[in-house]
A and B are shown apart, each in its own frame.
Chain A
Amino acid sequence: MFDSSSIIVGLEVGTSKICAVVGELNPDSSGLNIVGLGQAKSRGVRKGEICDAPAVEEDIRNAIVEAEQMADVEIRSVYLGVTGGHVRGFNNRGVHPVVSADREISEDDVQDVIKNAKTINLPAGNHVIHAIRQHFLVDGQDGISNPVGMLGSRVEVDVHVVHGNLNRLQNAIRTVKGLQLEVDEIVFNGLASSLALLTTEQKELGALVIDIGGGTTEYVVYADGVIKHASVLAIGGDHVSNDLAYGLKVPLGRAEQLKIEHGAAFVDGLKEKSVTISNELGMPMKTVNLEHLRRIMSLRLEEIFQLIGQDLEQAGLLDYLRSGVFLCGGGARIPEISRLAEQVLQMPVSIGKTNSISGLKSALDQPEFATAIGLVKFGSFQHKKRTGKASLRDGIKTTIGQLFKRA
């Protein structure tokens, strides 16, 4: 194998920042090591979707270059994170009869049943991003995680299908391809974040991951070790800034700054306190009531959690979250946000920490890098699957194929 194939890059094109993370697969221990990180301020993205492609192209280039320099590798392909208000997830079931003479379920049967589960009635122009298998049923017997080798006449599979509008997904892919970068796969941002944050036990117990980004908030529910629910709210930190700009009558940039310096998820203990903002010459320009600032912010954040709570209640998943809620994304940096989430959702909430990854300590502890790290982790699973499964012949074929693809 080539050296470069053990390098995995996750690229997240976010609303506030563009972030590229380089991971290296350790061939001996098959562990993942984060070796590089590049980021750039994002200028052409609204609500998680590209609205100014040339600006985004430039920002991606900057982030990639920074990551390349740090990791001292050449980046050829990336796992691209996608999001946006159009991305939705739902559960679906596929059925397949076992036709072989001895009624033994083969690998082909499993592939067929998953294929059946993917054939769903999507709105025209929608594309399946993921079809994540939850568990199999053999002749109605529930809870089978791998039916290969079992006997049965009918195999069914429950999958969670994440889909989005094809054209809007293509926009992100095209922009990246315009930079002479290959896109290995597109990955839903919420799924990537949850991969980075959750341990196997937490997935088994049931957990909710909320990624509060700049333009969107993704949330993913794990229960019994599998994804049960994934969705996107097109609200994020941008909305908080916008509300502040409107409510306090300050420019958007100033609102953003106020949010970072004085923002919090709760109002209490701030009666009649105010801050004075000065212009570039140091002259006082405007006095802003801190109580108002926090009230506006608190209401918006509270609403985000309420919307998520309502959605999960409708899906009947609130009782499955026994290991609690994990927050990540830039929004997780807001002081006391976990207390607010606890109050709204009525369950333990903590800020998520990436796990089972080694490397740059500075990157791993930041909640806003969870998605990009998750993308690398997703890539490493795919990589392992590919190299593990490939027979000699397939291996050569793909290697040669890749050679030609890159030339």
Chain B
Amino acid sequence: MEDSTSAVSVKIFGVGTAGINILEEIARAALPGVTLAAINTDAKSLAGSSAAEKISLETKVTRGGGPGGDAKRSRAAAEENLPKLKQTCEGMDVVFIVAGLGGGAGTGIGPVLAQAARESGALVLAFVAMPFDCEGNRRLKQAQQGLEQLKSAADGVICLPNQEIFKLIDEKTSVVETFKILNGLLAEGVNGVWRLMARKGLLEIHYADLCALLRERRGDSSFATAEAAGATRSREVMDKLFAHPMLDGGKALAESDAVLVSLTGGPDLTMAEVHRVMEHINGKCERAQVLMGATIDEAFRERLAITLIAVRRGAAQIEKGELPEQETVHLEARSTDDFGSHFLNQENGARPQSRFVPPAPSMPAEKMEQLAARQTRSRKNASKMRQGQLPLEIISKGRFDKSEPTIHKGEDLDVPTYIRRGVALN
């Protein structure tokens, strides 16, 4: 396994206190060939981390006391240390950024780190947790801003709104346990994507394919993992997967336009099982481009794990009502438009305040047209799928009302021909 993983060099950054906690969870799975790095402005939390690399962004601005929940300050700190960040990303193919948004460090450092990693040539995937609704407006707003910035900086953002966890926990779950589940979920996601890329598989997803898929879209994503064991594992795993709260009862799949599926099984994984699972998933997301990989892991004997990432174009699910006026406008624009139109509307969209944001890519007129055309087409398709029609007039079949209808190629021939052909009698 070591040989196969060395092809792609992966580094996982835990950013901020929450990020570092999740990193601990990931460290427990001990992914081979992966470097773990912890970044924070607060030296104390770094000390407790088991990560191989620890980067402290202590500066004069923070005076060693942490940013105090202020994203601007930690952002400034990160920008100050940009060469250092770039250097640590040097030579990496894939960089995962794990963070909790809404606080100071994760929100501020995340986007800058993503930018730095991208500039040093890595594919950047961010796994972030959004704050609970009960954490207050300020944090939520800060998190939204951070998410927007992160989206424009990273190749892919997989976002777990903590609020969704209520679907997974019950009344009696303690706070400690809840956070554990949350961390576990994100860790699983990282794990699944890493497996997808790194393990030698039966059916391999090429690193280049993954890059192409994510770079093209840069939307937000949802992910789900499920695992089952035993003889009926392929059916069980599908049931579990579709029951996953992040998929919203399959709605997320129906809306997605790219789906990544990673199957991990033991050497006893059969082709029929892979086929059954994929058939199910394909059925749920007809519009999407499905990219699948299957990997074999000795440890997964008798078991089947599946990780699914659904990438949506825009369509961010944001509680718009809780946001200030000018922010809402901006977010709405983002949520309905896709990546292409983001560039088209660059002038009126609010820009991240960082000086590290690259200049807007110049786009030839024909490309713009192309993108615009694609946009309208995809929207038309979407509406076609949902729109139903009620019969305007109920036509009595007279004496054939009770007899078996004569159906020919889907047409009820008992209905008078002139009505079916729309011939008007005046």
Contacts and interface: CB of A to CB of B under 8 A. Distances in A.
A247 B418 CA distance: 9
A302 B423 CA distance: 14
Contact of B416 (A233, A234, A243): A243
A92 to B, nearest CB: 24
Contacts of B397: 242
Interface stretch (B30-38, B187-195, B219-227, B399-407): B399-407
B398 A246 contact: yes
A383 interface: no
B272 to A, nearest CB: 27
B396 A246 contact: yes
B425 A296 contact: yes
Contacts of A295: 418, 423, 425
Contacts of B418: 243, 247, 295-296, 299-300
Interface residues of A, number: 24
Interface string A275-298: 000000000000001001001100
Interface in A1-37: none
- Residue of B397, B406, B418, B421 ringed by the most chain A CB atoms within 10 A: B418
B255 interface: no
B421 A299 contact: yes
B400 A242 contact: yes
Given A239-B414, A292-B425, A300-B417, A51 B399 contact: no
A296 B421 CA distance: 11
Interface in A315-361: none
A307 interface: yes
B416 A307 contact: no
Interface residues of B, number: 19
Contacts of B408: 233, 307
A299 B417 contact: yes
Interface in A27-69: 46-47, 51
A242 B398 contact: yes
B413 interface: yes
Interface in B369-426: 395-400, 403-404, 406, 408, 413-414, 416-419, 421, 423, 425
A55 to B, nearest CB: 15
A234 B408 CA distance: 10
A85 B398 CA distance: 19
A235 interface: yes
Contact of A245 (B398, B414, B419, B423): B398
B400 A233 contact: no
Given A234-B406, A247-B416, A242 B425 contact: no
A242 B399 contact: yes
B413 A239 contact: yes
A182 interface: no
Contacts of B421: 299
A277 B290 CA distance: 67
A252 B423 contact: no
Interface in A236-255: 238-239, 242-243, 245-247, 252
B423 A51 contact: no
A312 to B, nearest CB: 14
A308 to B, nearest CB: 11
A252 B399 contact: yes
A57 to B, nearest CB: 20
Given A246-B416, A295-B418, A299-B417, A233 B406 contact: yes
Contact of A46 (B396, B400, B419, B425): B400
Contacts of A47: 400, 403-404, 406
A303 interface: yes
B423 A299 contact: yes
Nearest to B405: A234
Contacts of A238: 399-400
A126 B398 CA distance: 30
A243 B399 CA distance: 10
A51 B403 contact: yes
Contacts of B417: 243, 296, 299-300, 302-303
Contacts of A289: 425
Nearest to A245: B398
Contacts of A243: 416-418
B297 to A, nearest CB: 46
B400 A300 contact: no
Contacts of A252: 398-399
A16 B419 CA distance: 25
Contacts of B419: 246-247
A299 B406 CA distance: 17
A85 B414 CA distance: 13
Contacts of A302: 417
Contacts of B395: 246
Given A246-B398, A252-B399, A235 B413 contact: yes
Contacts of B399: 46, 238, 242, 252
Interface string A168-186: 0000000000000000000
A235 B397 CA distance: 13
Contacts of B396: 246
Contacts of A239: 400, 413-414, 416
B400 A85 contact: no
Nearest to A234: B406
Contacts of A245: 398
Contacts of B398: 242, 245-246, 252
Contacts of A233: 406, 408, 413
**9 closest pairs, A vs B, by CB?**
A243-B416, A234-B406, A299-B417, A242-B398, A300-B417, A46-B403, A292-B425, A303-B417, A299-B418
Interface of A: 46-47, 51, 85, 233-235, 238-239, 242-243, 245-247, 252, 289, 292, 295-296, 299-300, 302-303, 307
11 contacts: A233-B406, A234-B404, A243-B418, A252-B399, A295-B418, A295-B423, A296-B416, A296-B417, A299-B417, A299-B423, A300-B416
Given A238-B399, A246-B419, 17 more contacts: A46-B399, A47-B400, A47-B406, A51-B403, A85-B404, A234-B404, A234-B406, A235-B413, A239-B413, A239-B414, A239-B416, A245-B398, A299-B421, A300-B416, A300-B418, A302-B417, A307-B408
Interface of B: 395-400, 403-404, 406, 408, 413-414, 416-419, 421, 423, 425
